Amino acid sequence: MQLLGIIISLLGGGVLALIVGRQSAAASRWLSLVSLAVASVFYASLWFDTTDPQATSLWLLHMDWPWIARFGIHLLLVTDGLSLVLIGLTLVLGYVALLSAWHEINHRCGLFYLNFLFTLAGVVGVFSALDLFLFFVFWEVMLVPMFLIIAIWGHEGRRYAATKFFIYTQASSLLMLAAMVGLVLLNLQQTEVWSFSWFTLTQTDTSGSLGMWLMLGFYLAFLVKLPGLPVHNWLPDAHTQAPTPGSILLAGILLKTGAYGLLRFVWPLFPDAASSFAPMAMGLGVFSVLYAAKLAFAQNDLKRLIAYTSISHMGFVSLGIFAWNHLGLQGTVMQMVGHGLSSAGLFAIAGLLQQRLHTRDLDKMGGLWGQMPKLAALSMLFAVAALGLPGLANFIGEFMVLVGVFQVAPWAASMAALGMILAPVYALIIMQKGFFGTAASTQTAGTSNVLDLNTSELLMLGVLVVGLVLLGFWPNLIFTITVAPVEYLMHLGKGG
């Protein structure tokens, strides 16, 4: 019930925000906050249920209502530790994105919060639906509002970016739909039962060449979302043009749905195809890490730079998943959470800078350390989190992924480790161009007083900092929850 509670409170909150938004923008903001809070209460009760000593089973919550009985489609919402962690991340970043929207979004507020909360609801659904058809519905639910957020509240090049985003994700989810139907038909052929349930379909024998094609359909859809090379092109544009809350949602959560899909669907459904495809996928992962890092270094648009760093970090996720061993998978989960927090922080910083300086161009910044010491210190923290400094969450993820990959593919791990050299090259260039030196002449001409962070902004970034440090020192907080699901997935992905 709690899962449905989370989703409905978000969807309902969205609709209400639209209605009250016609009268008052402030009301729609507060309403969104309330609906997030209600969702969090549901989440907390889910958490308490699961830490109940009786409920130590792998599947924490099972909700199964028939929906379209003709085709065996159910409203099947299930969580395990993996979903629990990712839904938690979604809600935390929901608050952060909401705080960043608070002052930035000033027109058509009601509609904005409708889209905002619908996106969150879609993501929560994606992380908990284990009926493939329902999963696909949520997949679309999170896509369309995100498209609108970019297209309506974005920056100067928003129309091109939004269209590109839409076409990429829509075309790839069409492939996924086709592969899904193919898989269901394959299962029908083998068992003569219509079923979209993940639990049934993981039992399907997918070892033939058809299995490979179906796997590729899923893989491509998730690779686009992740994103990995060579289908990453929508991301730099979408990230750059989206408003700050949009960028935070995109980088922090939406990308994770791609990684989640690879973990939850690609390997368990197609173990044989996935393992024979693994070298290729790891190669693409290495390529992503290095190529995107090099691209990030060359950017002077701050948000575009951060966008490319996301691609580079998601390369590690690709690697960890396709190593398919305990270290690689646990590392992947941590990398997802760590990247969610650090990239949200960096995008929030970019948004704050744009509000203050009216530019995202790093070449036009400079000397901000003297003007905004707090902002500078936090930027430094997020930058070093992104470059994988030990003591922060991202390091644990990267390190474990690389150790895990090294067990199966030493060369891939060694090549990807070169990303450790490129990471400071792109992360510290932000500090160099933005914060070192003296104030650029163009920058303060219009804005006489560039302000340091205020309390609500400190709160927004502080949440992320606490998360990064906490998980950097006590990553077992997450690992103890995810160890059982990861083992189960590994068992399914072993193949037969």
Partner 1 sequence: MQQLWLIPCLPLVGFLLLVLGHGRCSRSVARLVGVGSVAMAGLVTLWVALDFYSAGAAQSYQVQLWPWFNAGTLEVSFGLYLDGLSLSMLFVITGVGSLIHWYASGYMWQDPDYQRFFAYMNLFVAAMLTLVLADNLVLLFLGWEGVGLCSFLLIGFWHQDPANGYAARKAFVVTRVGDTAFAIGLFLLFRELGTLDLPTIMALAPEQFVMGANRPTLIAALLLAGAVGKSAQLPLHTWLPDAMAGPTPVSALIHAATMVTAGVYLIARTHEVFLQAPDVLLVVALIGLFTLLISGFTALNQTDIKRVLAYSTMSQIGYMFFALGVGAWNESVFHLMTHALFKALLFMTAGSIILAMHHEQDIRSMGGLRRQLPVPFWCFVIGSACLVALPPTSGFFSKEAILIASWQLPGYGPWLWLGGVLGAFITAMYSFRLLFMVFFGPQKAHPHEPKGWQFHPPLMILGALSLVAGWFVLPTATVLPASPAGHPPTWTIVVAIAMPLLGIGIAYKVYVRHQWQGLRFVQWQKLRQFLFQGWGFDGMYKRLLLTPFTTLAQVNRNDMIDGLPKLLIQLSRFLHGLFSQLQNGQLRFYIATLASAAIIVLALALKVL
Exactly one of 438, 441, 448, 449 binds partner 1 (CB under 8 A); which one?
438
Number of neighbouring beta carbons within 10 Å of residue 239: 28
Please tell me whether residue 495 binds partner 1 under the rule CB under 8 A. no
* Residue of 384, 386, 464, 465 interacting with partner 1 (CB under 8 A): 384
Q: Binder to partner 1 among 295, 305, 453, 464 (CB under 8 A)?
A: 295
CB of 368 to partner 1, least distance (A): 9
Q: Are 217 and 178 in contact (CB under 8 A)?
A: yes
Q: Is 23 in the site for partner 1 (CB under 8 A)?
A: no
When asked if residue 210 is in the footprint of partner 1 (CB under 8 A), the reply is: no
Which of 42/234 has CB closer to partner 1?
234
Size of the site for partner 1 (CB under 8 A): 61
Q: Is 428 in the site for partner 1 (CB under 8 A)?
A: yes
H helix or E strand, kind and range, residue 66: strand 61-68
Does residue 495 come out as left (phi exceeding 0), alpha (psi in the -120 to 50 range) or beta? left
N-term to C-term CA, the chain? 35
Please count the other Cβ atoms lying within 10 Å of the Cβ belonging to residue 61: 19
Q: Which of 363, 410, 454, 459 binds partner 1 (CB under 8 A)?
A: 410
Q: Does 67 bind partner 1 (CB under 8 A)?
A: no
Task: Please tell me the distance from the alpha carbon of residue 174 to that of residue 171, in angstroms, as a whole number.
Answer: 5
Contact 173, 161 (CB under 8 A): no
Candidates 58-66, 99-107, 420-428, 453-461 — which segment interacts with partner 1 by CB under 8 A? 420-428
Region near partner 1 per CB under 8 A, out of 39-47, 89-97, 218-226, 422-430: 422-430
Structure tokens that stand for 105 in this block: 């979004």
Select from 435, 453, 461, 485 the one that contacts partner 1 (CB under 8 A): 435
Binding mask 231-250 for partner 1 (x = CB under 8 A): -xx--x--------------
Q: Is position 325 an interface residue for partner 1 (rule: CB under 8 A)?
A: yes
Roughly what angle, to the nearest 10 degrees, separates helices 410-417 and 271-298?
A: 20
Q: Is 420 in the site for partner 1 (CB under 8 A)?
A: yes
**Sole binder of partner 1 in the list 302, 344, 402, 464 (CB under 8 A):** 402
Q: Torsion angle, CA of 277/279/284/289, rounded to 10 degrees?
A: 140
Token readout for 413 is 């791990």
Q: By C-beta, is 61 or 478 nearer to partner 1?
A: 478
Q: Scanning residues 145 to 174, which ones bind partner 1 (CB under 8 A)?
A: 164, 168
DSSP string, 385-439: HHTT-TTSHHHHHHHHHHHHHHHH-HHHHHHHHTHHHHHHHHHHHHHHHHHSSS-
List Cα–Cα distances, 492 to 134, 198, 263, 270, in angstroms. 21, 11, 11, 9
Q: Which stretch binds partner 1 (CB under 8 A): 115-123, 260-268, 314-322, 387-395?
A: 387-395
Would you count residue 470 as binding partner 1 (CB under 8 A)?
Answer: no
CB of 216 to partner 1, least distance (A): 18
Query: Looking at this protein, which amino acid is placed at residue 57?
Result: S
Q: Which is nearer to partner 1, 253 or 295 (CB)?
A: 295
**Could you give phi then psi for residue 442, rounded to 5 degrees?**
-75, -25
- Closest CB to partner 1 among 6 and 440? 440
Q: Phi and psi (nearest 5°) for 108?
A: 50, 50
Candidates 5-13, 19-27, 87-95, 412-420 — which segment interacts with partner 1 by CB under 8 A?
A: 412-420
The CA distances from residue 238 to 74, 289, 299, 427, 457, in Å, are 34, 20, 15, 21, 24
CA distance linking residue 323 with residue 465, whole number of Å? 30
Residues 393-418 as b/e (b if ≥16 CB within 10 A, e otherwise) read bbbbbbbbbbbbbbebbeebbebbbe
* b/e map 108-136, b = 16+ CB within 10 Å: bbbbbbbbbbbbbbbbbbbbbbbbbbbbb
Residue window 246-285: x/- pattern of binding to partner 1, with contact defined by CB under 8 A: ----------------------------------------
Q: At its nearest, how many Å lie between partner 1 and the CB of residue 2?
A: 28
**Residue 462 binds to partner 1 (criterion: CB under 8 A):** no
Please report, as a single letter, which amino acid is at residue 379. S
Binding partner 1 by CB under 8 A: which of 12, 294, 450, 492?
Answer: 294
- CA distances 282 to 19, 135, 139, 209, Å, are 48, 26, 25, 21
- Of positions 32, 40, 330, 342, contacts partner 1 by CB under 8 A: 330
Does the footprint of partner 1 cover residue 436 (CB under 8 A)? yes
The footprint of partner 1 (CB under 8 A) covers: 164, 168, 229-230, 232-233, 236, 294-295, 297-299, 325-327, 330-331, 366-367, 369-370, 373-374, 377, 380, 384, 389-391, 395-396, 399-400, 402-404, 406-407, 410, 413-414, 417-418, 420-421, 424-425, 428-429, 431-432, 435-438, 473-476, 479, 483
